[in-house]
Structure 1
Amino acid sequence: MMKNYQLEIYEPHALDSWVYFESDSPFAAINKGDILAAANFPGALMTDRYRITSVEHIIWEKAGVGIRHKICVYTEKLEDTDYDKERRINY
């Protein structure tokens, strides 16, 4: 049975989700510009980092179940030098 909260993360330029999570509780806030460490995602390397380029919220009501909320997160890959630059700016 589908849970009330879903999170889909998309690789750069992908049409299908890269990873998908479900939860009974809402996910923490995810914002454009956040950096995502993708070490455990399929095909990603331990050092791969992605910047979130946009976040889409899909909310609907299902009879007998209640309100559902799906978050779709779109990304761009950061090169190592971009990631190092981001860390210097934010610390």
Structure 2
Amino acid sequence: MSIRERIEARLSEAFSPERLTVIDESASHAGHQPDVTGTGETHMRVRIVSPAFSGLPRLARHRAVNDVLKAELEAGLHALAIEASAPGEATRW
């Protein structure tokens, strides 16, 4: 199972999202550090809409996602961009 697939599975289980997209942006970050080649799964973007985020400020939403993905971050996921929304909120995607 790929890192992207594990992220999707963990977030689906934790938040029962209405919408979830996990985008591998690793290739876009090649060379910004000596050990980042653009291969592998090092940079991910999460776009998630879930009722679990209703009434929560943005920081609390990000913390909740980071908590669920703690194992992936500790295992070497270098960067995680999070776009978390509650149902009915405007999104840019």
Q: TM-score range by the shorter chain?
A: under 0.3
TM-score by length of 2: 0.27
- Higher Cα radius of gyration: 1
Higher helix share: 2
More strand by share: 1
